[in-house]
Amino acid sequence: MKYVDSEQVHKKMGSRLLANNLAKTLFFMATLFGLVVLIVLIYRVLADGLGWINLDFLMNRLSTDPERAGIWGAITGTLWLMLVVAPVTMILGVGTAIYLEEYAAKGRISSFIKTNISNLAGVPSVVFGILGLTVFARALDLGSVVLAGGLTMALLVLPVVVVASQEAIRAVPQFLREASYGMGATKWQTIKNVVLPAALPGILTGVILALSRAIGETAPLVVIGIPALLIPVPDGIFDKFTILPVQIYYWTVDSALVAEYANLAAATIVILLIVLFAMNSIAILIRNKFQKRY
């Protein structure tokens, strides 16, 4: 008795192999699709914007005249914003991670905080904008200044820093902590002198990635109320400000009125992408160079 009818199998083999090869090509094309879009996108932005980038464009203030418009205000605004976001999100994120990994008992409270953070990561950024508008800009009466925007942004990217720091702290091997306790160090001394230095590269990578997310975020700040045309350059954290993505937004929307605004938007995108690329490269560099393997 034959269990397998080899003739039948042979008959079907050709079409099965053909299907396999067709599918493989299809899957490969699908993978390429994303990359082709990436190339087209970057090509379009460069083609539209590269000719507009020069020293004047970087150093001039905003203007309604496309020939004279520059992004110096948006660049300084972005820097001031990062000056608020970086320390706030780092202190909050690393503090939360240390608490969750080193102090919190594995129980309700810690799992509640963890669930809360993962849900916070899924809240749309525009809702964070509403929070910033209501609490920081209106209730605390800060107005749409750097501090209000920075605090909102810090809360928005907080989950990124918490998760990255948690992973970095968890990766520090237990024997390092035990050695420190063995020498008579207290828990906090151990964390401060042993765990944090060992986890620092991972934490820094997370912070840089969070900042690069914050630099590209637009919606929350538009909601807080950044003016479309702000001539003065911000001078501190209590000044009104504008940032690169918001400037791109207004220029893109207004390109229906003045065609050259599309070029200004593209040129600003080139600058923004260069900044993002540099930050991500630094993050990868830190991760590869300083990460110790135990």
Partner 1 sequence: MRRLKGVLHLAKSAVQHDNRKLNVREIIQQKKKSRSVNNYTEKLIPKILFGIAAISVLTTIGIVLTLITETIAFFKDVPFIDFFTGTELKPLGENAVFGVLPLLTGTIISTLIAMLVAIPVGLMTAIFLSEYASEKTRKALKPLLEILAGIPTIVYGFFAFTFVTPLLRSFIPGLEPTNILSPGIVMGIMIIPMVASLSEDAMSSVPNAMREGALALGATKLEVTWKVVVPAAISGIIASFVLGISRAIGETMIVTIASGSSKNFTFDVTQSMQTMTAYIVEVTGGEAAAGTTLYYSLYAVAMTLFVFTLIMNLLAQYISRRFREEY
Scan residues 15-74 and list those touching partner 1 (CB under 8 A): 16-17, 19-20, 23-24, 26-28, 30-31, 33-35, 37-38, 40-41, 44-45, 48
* Residue 145, beta-bridge partner list: 240
User: Per DSSP, what are the bridge partners of residue 240?
Assistant: 145
Binding-site size, partner 1 (CB under 8 A): 85
Phi, psi torsion values for 58, nearest 5 degrees: -75, -35
Picking from 105, 115, 215, the residue whose alpha carbon sits closest to that of residue 163 is: 115
Q: How far apart are CA 66 and CA 63, in angstroms?
A: 7
Question: Binding to partner 1 (CB under 8 A): which residues in 90-119?
Answer: 91-92, 95-96, 98-100, 103-104, 112-113, 116-119
Binding mask 212-251 for partner 1 (x = CB under 8 A): x--xxxxx--xxxx-------------------x--xx--
User: Which of 123, 183, 231, 278 contacts partner 1 by CB under 8 A?
Assistant: 123
Residues 133-172 that bind partner 1 (CB under 8 A): 133-135, 138, 155, 158-159, 162
Structure tokens at 231: 């001539």
Positions 179 through 208 that interact with partner 1 (CB under 8 A)? 186-189
Residue spans of alpha helices (H) in the chain: 6-49, 55-59, 72-98, 108-120, 125-131, 146-170, 174-182, 187-190, 196-216, 219-224, 244-254, 260-290
Cβ nearer to partner 1, comparing 133 with 207 = 133
Q: Which is nearer to partner 1, 95 or 173 (CB)?
A: 95
Rg of the chain, C-alpha, whole Å: 25
| Minimum CB distance to partner 1 smaller for 38 or for 183 | 38
